[in-house]
Amino acid sequence: MANISLLLFFFFILINSIPISSFSCPLHHKQALLTIKSNFDTIFNQSDYYYTFKSWSRNSDCCSWLRVNCSETGTITKLYLYDIVPSYDNPASVSFDIFTPLFHIQSLEHLDISKNRLVGEIPGDGFGNLTQLVHLDLSRNNFNGSIPYQIFGLTNLRYLDMNDNSFEGNLGPELGKLQNLESLDLNNNSLTGNIPEEIGNLKNLVYVFFSNNFFSGRIPDSIGNLKDLERLAFSNNSFSGGIPDSIGNMKDLEVLDFSMNSFSMKIPTSIGRLPNINTLLLNHNQLTGPIPSSIQNLSRLELLWLQDNHLTGEIPTSIFNITTLRSFSIGGKGSKLIWNNKAKIVPKRSLLSLYMPSCGMSGQIPEWISSNKELLYLDLSGNKLEGPFPNWLAEMVELDTVILSDNKLTGSIPHRLFESTLLHALHLSRNNFSGELPENIGNATGMTYLMLSANNFSGQIPMSMSNMDRLELLDLSINKFSGHDFPDLSNATSLIYLDVSNNEFSGKIPATFSTTIEFLYLGGNEFSGHLPWNLTKLVSLQHLDVHDNNITGYFQDVLPQSPYLRVLVLRNNSFEGFIPTTISNFSNLQILDLSGNNLSGSIPLEVANLTSMIEAPVHMSTSGSIVDFFFDYGPPNDMHFDIEDLIVNWKNNFQGLSSHSLDMYSLLDLSNNKISGEIPASLGNLKSLKVLNISNNNISGHIPLSFGNLKGMESLDLSHNKISGSIPKSLEKLDGLGILDVSNNKLTGKIPMGGHMSTMNGHKYFANNSGLCGMQINITCPEDIPPPSEGRDDEDDENLSWIFWVGTWIGFPIGFFSSILIMGYFLNFLLLFKLCGKGGAAGGGQGEEEGARKRSFDARYIVAYDCCERHHRKMYVGETEIANEIMGLIVSGYGSNHESSTSAIPRLWAELRVGSGPGNGNASLWACGLGHRSGLVVPGRVQSMWTVRVAAD
C-alpha cells in the first residue's frame, strides 16, 4: 500500500511538472511546431501539404501528430520533416527560416529535414541549441556556406548526413570532437582543404562518405585508427599522395572508393589484408607500380576497378581466380600494363562486367570471355585485337554493352548479335569492319547507342533500323554507306544525335527524325535536292551540318526553325538566294558557315544582332547530354562518347573544333559566294566573334571603323573583294588578331602600325591592292620616314623553341577565357610551371627534360610562361599513344618580362593550328606574338602522363 501511494505521489509530481497534461507535449514545443505550420501556410498553397499537417491541430497533443515523436516523458525527441516542402510550388527554393522555431525544442534527438530544397546557410546558433541531437539529416537540400562550428559541438551525434548540398570551406580539427559519430555523409558538396588528422579520433565511425567534393592533400595516416569502418568513399576529389598503408588495419572494411583522385605511388600491399572488402575502386588516379599480388587474397572482392592509373607490370591473372569477382576494370588511357595474351583464364564465376581498354591485348578476342555467361558489359577498346567479331560473342544473349572501338577487327558483324533486344550499346568505331549491316539489325530494339564510325561498312542502311525506337545516338560516319533510301527514324523518339557524314549517301536529304534531335551531321555525302521542309521543323536542333553535298534551293526559304540552333554549316553546296534579315532570330548561333555557295545580295544589318556572337555564352560545357550518355550505366565511367569535332575553316585552315568547348568558338564564314554591297558597320557589334571570313565575294565599300570593336577577333579575312579606302587605324585595338588578310582588294594608304598591327607582316596578306604602304610590307609610305628596324636578335634564333606535347589531343585553342583560368587556379587544377623561360629554352634537350619531369601531374590546364623570347615562336603539339586530353594551355610572358601569367593573361593572344585529334600528326601552334602579351588556351584535359618537349625551331 505504502508503495503504491509513494508511486502515486511521484506520479503527481511528474504530471504537475508538465505544463499541460501528462500525455501532451510541452506547450512551447507545440507552439514551435504550430509556428512552422503557419510559416508554411504563408508561403505555400495548403493543399500541397494538407495531409502532412492535417494532424497538427492546436487542440490535440502534439505527441500524436504525424512526423512527431515524443519521449516517455512527453517531450518531443524526433521530428521527421523530410520532403515536406512541396516541390511543385513556388517559390522555387525556401530558406531554412521556416524551420527556425524548432530550435526551441531542445530535447530533439532526431531531426530529419532532408529533401526540402532549402537554401542559404544553416544557422549555427540554432543548431548549437540542439545539444541532445543524435541523428541529424540535412541531406538533399541546397544549403551553402561553411558547416558552422556549432555542429561540431553536438558531441552526441552518431549520424550526420549533409549529402547533396553546396556546403563549402574546410573541415577543421574540431571534427575530432564528434567522438560518437558512426556515420558521416558529406558526399556531393563543395568542401575543400585537407582531411584533418583528427578524423582518426572518431573511432566509432562505420560509414564515411566524402565523395564529389574538392578535398585535397594527403589522407592522414590516422585514418587507420578507424577500425570499425565498413565503408569509406572519397571518390572524385583531388586527394594526392600515397594511399596510407594503415588502410590495412580496417579489418571490417567492405567498401573502399578512392576513385577519381590524384593518388600516386604504389598500391599498398596492406590492401590484401582486408578480409571483408567487396568493393575496391582505385580507378582514375595516378597510382604506379605493379598490382600487388596480395589482391588475390581478397576472397570477398566483387568489384575491382583499377582502370586509368599508371600501373606497370603484368596484369595478374590470379585476379580471375577470386571466386566472388563480378566486375573488373583495368588498363585505360596511358596504361603501361602488360597482358599475357596466352593466359588460360577460367573464371570461377561469371563476371558481370569486364573492362580492359588499352591493355595491350592482341590476337583475336579471347575466347575465355565466353565462359562469363552472365556478362553484361564488355569493353576491350583501344587494344590491338584483330580477326572477326566472334560468333560466340554475338551469342552471349545477356550483353548490354559491347565496346570494341579502336582495334583492328575485320569482317562483318554477325546478324546473331541483333537478335537480342537487351543490347543497349554497341561501339565498334575505328576498326576495319566491312560488309553490309545485317538486315535484321532492327530487331535489336533495345539499342540506344550505336557507333560504327570509321570502318569500311558499305551498302544500304537496312530499313529495319526504323524499328530501333530507343535509339538516342547513331554514328555511322566515315564509312562507305550508300543508297538513296534512309530508314524512317521518326519512331525513335529519344534520338538526339545522328551522324552519317562522310559516306556515299545520295538522293534526298533524310528528314524523318523525331523532333528531339539536337545534332544532325549529314556532310560529305552526295545528297541533292532541296533541304526538306520537314528538316527545318526540327525544333530541338542545335547543330545542323550538311557541308559538301549538292543541296540546292534558296537559303532564305530553308532556315531551320529551332531556337536552339548554335551551329549551322551549309558549306560547299549550291544554295542560292540571300541571307534573310530573320537570321538575327538565332540568338544561340555561334558558328554560321555558308561558304562555298551561290548566295547573293548583301550582308543584312541584322547579322549584327546575333546574340551569341556579341557575347560568348556563359555555360562552359556543351552537349553535355551526349557526353554524359555513358555515365548512366556506371562503372569505369570513361566510356563517354566524344562528339566528332566540328570541321570549319578556322583561321585559314580546315580543322576540328572540339564540341566539348564549343562555347569558346564563334565564327561567321560567308566566303566564296556572290555577296555584294558594303560591309554593314553594325558588324562591329559582334564582339565575341573570333573568325570573320567574307573573302571571295563582290563586296565593295570601306572596312568599317567599327571593326575596331571586334575585341574577340582572331582572324579576319576580307580578301578577294572590291574593298577600297584605307585600313582603319581602329584595327590597332584588336589585341587578339592573328591573321588579317586584305589581299586582292582596292585598298590604299598606310597600313596601321600601332599595337598588334605591327606583327601583321605577311606580304601575301596585303598583296594586290591599289597602293598600300607600311613597314609590314616594306613599302615606305610617302608621309613617313623609315621606321626603326625591329632589331632582331640573331643569336636567339637557334633557341626558338617548339613545344612538343605528347598527349592525345582533343580540343583546340581559341584565345582566352580568364574565367577558366581563375576558376582553375582556385580549384587547383591549374598547373603553373615554367616551361620555357630564359633558361629552359636554352636547348631542346633541356626543355625536354623539364617537361618530362613534370609527368604525372594532374593538371587540366597548363600554363607555360616566359616562353616567348621573340616574335613568332612556333610550337608543336604532337600526338601520342598516351591518351590524355589537355584542357588548357596558356602560354604567356615574353622575353625578360617575368610578369606572372595571370597578370599577362588579359592581353594574351595566340593562334593554334592543330590536326583533328589523335592520329593526325603534329599540331602546330603559333603562339607568342608581340611584347609580353601572347597566349592561348587549349581546351581538353590532362589527366595523367604527358611530356613536353621544347625543341629548336
Question: What gap in Å lies between CA 682 and CA 431, rounded to an integer?
Answer: 49
Sole binder of ligand NAG in the list 104, 349, 729, 874 (CB under 6 A): 104
Q: Is 464 in the site for ligand NAG (CB under 6 A)?
A: yes
Nearer to ligand NAG, 126 or 895 (CB): 126
Stretch that binds ligand NAG, among 150-158, 273-281, 297-305, 436-444 (CB under 6 A): 436-444
User: Which residue among 126, 241, 446, 918 contacts ligand NAG (CB under 6 A)?
Assistant: 126
Distance separating alpha carbons of residues 351 and 330, to the nearest angstrom = 14
Rounded least distance, CB 755 to ligand NAG, Å:
54
Binding of residue 125 to ligand NAG (CB under 6 A): yes
Could you tell me the three cell numbers for 519? Answer: 545534332
Q: Let me know if 371 is exposed, middle or buried by CB neighbors in 10 A (0-12, 13-18, 19+).
A: middle
- Contacts of 760 by beta carbon, 8 Å cutoff, 6+ apart: 737, 740, 751, 776
Contact between 420 and ligand NAG per CB under 6 A: no
Residues 718 and 743 sit within 8 Å (Cβ to Cβ): no
CA distances from 782 to 651, 744, 762, 768, 919 (A): 32, 22, 21, 19, 51
Is residue 561 within the footprint of ligand NAG (CB under 6 A)?
no
Rounded Cα distance, 485 and 507, in Å: 7
Q: Which residues contact 619 (CB under 8 A, 6 or more apart)?
A: 663
Closest approach, Cβ 415 to ligand NAG, in A, equals: 7
318 sits near ligand NAG (criterion: CB under 6 A): yes
Q: Which residue is nearest to ligand NAG (CB)?
A: 440
* Binder among 146, 180, 194, 440 for ligand NAG (CB under 6 A): 440
- Give the residue with the Cβ less far from ligand NAG, 122 or 692: 122
| Nearer to ligand NAG (CB atom), residue 61 or residue 469 | 469
Q: Which residue from 367, 365, 332, 370 is spatially nearest to 351, judged by alpha carbons?
A: 370
Q: Which is nearer to ligand NAG, 314 or 793 (CB)?
A: 314
The one among 317, 676, 880, 897 contacting ligand NAG by CB under 6 A: 317
Backbone angles phi, psi at 331, to 5 degrees: 85, -140
Binding of residue 129 to ligand NAG (CB under 6 A): yes
Find the shortest distance in angstroms from Cβ 511 to ligand NAG. 5
Q: With contact defined as beta carbons under 8 Å apart, do 485 and 508 qualify?
A: no
Residue 512 binds ligand NAG (CB under 6 A): yes
Cell numbers for 104, please give them.
526551441
Three-state DSSP class for residue 110: strand
Residue 443 sits in the site that holds ligand NAG (CB under 6 A): yes
CA–CA distance, 437 with 84 (Å, rounded to integer) = 53
**Piece in contact with ligand NAG (CB under 6 A), picked from 176-184, 316-324, 386-394, 855-863:** 316-324
Which residues make beta-bridge pairs with 296? none
Which of these segments, 437-445, 555-563, 639-647, 777-785, binds ligand NAG (CB under 6 A)?
Answer: 437-445
Q: Which is nearer to ligand NAG, 558 or 889 (CB)?
A: 558
Closest to ligand NAG by CB, 38 vs 318, is 318
**Alpha-helical regions (H) of 853-937:** 901-904
Segment interacting with ligand NAG (CB under 6 A) among 315-323, 704-712, 883-891, 941-949: 315-323
491 binds ligand NAG (CB under 6 A): yes
511 binds ligand NAG (CB under 6 A): yes
Reading the block at residue 472, the C-alpha cell is 538516342
Q: What is the 3-state secondary structure (H, E, C) of 551-610?
A: EEEEHHHCCCCCCCCCEEECCCCEEECCCCHHHHHCCCCCEEECCCCCCCCECCHHHHHC
What cell does 784 get? 613617313
Q: Within 10 Å of residue 533's Cβ, how many Cβ atoms?
A: 10
Nearer to ligand NAG, 539 or 779 (CB): 539
Residue closest to 161 by CA, chosen among 104, 110, 204: 110
- Closest separation in Å from C-beta 505 to ligand NAG: 15
Chosen residue from 103, 554, 564, 833 binding ligand NAG by CB under 6 A: 103
Rounded least distance, CB 323 to ligand NAG, Å = 9
Size of the site for ligand NAG (CB under 6 A): 19
Shortest spacing between CB 348 and ligand NAG, in angstroms: 7
Residue 344 near ligand NAG by CB under 6 A: no
Q: What values do phi and psi take at 541, rounded to 5? A: -55, 130
321 binds ligand NAG, rule: CB under 6 A: yes
Q: Does 466 bind ligand NAG (CB under 6 A)?
A: yes
Q: Which of 172, 483, 532, 701 binds ligand NAG (CB under 6 A)?
A: 532
**Which x/- pattern, by CB under 6 A, does the window 631-660 give for ligand NAG?**
------------------------------
Q: Give the DSSP per-residue string, 427-444.
A: E--SSEEEEPPPGGGGG-
State the Cα–Cα distance between residues 930 and 893, nearest whole angstrom: 10
Phi, psi of 226 (to 5 degrees): -85, 75
- Cβ atoms of 159 and 182 within 8 Å: the answer is yes
**Binding segment toward ligand NAG, per CB under 6 A, in 122-130, 581-589, 901-909, 941-949:** 122-130
Query: CB 416 → ligand NAG: shortest distance, Å?
Result: 10
Position among 174, 228, 386, 488 found at the interface with ligand NAG (CB under 6 A): 488
CA distance 577 to 850: 57
Among 71-79, 132-140, 180-188, 438-446, which window interacts with ligand NAG (CB under 6 A)?
Answer: 438-446
Of 125-133, 324-332, 703-711, 838-846, the segment contacting ligand NAG by CB under 6 A is 125-133
Q: How many CA atoms lie within 13 A of 297 on its CB side?
A: 11
Report the site for ligand NAG in 533-552 (rule: CB under 6 A): 534
CA–CA dist 495, 31 (Å, integer):
55
Neighbours of 789 (CB within 10 A): 7
Residue closer to ligand NAG by CB (options 247, 498) is: 498
| Residues binding ligand NAG (CB under 6 A) | 103-104, 125-126, 129, 317-318, 321, 439-440, 443, 464, 466, 488, 491, 511-512, 532, 534
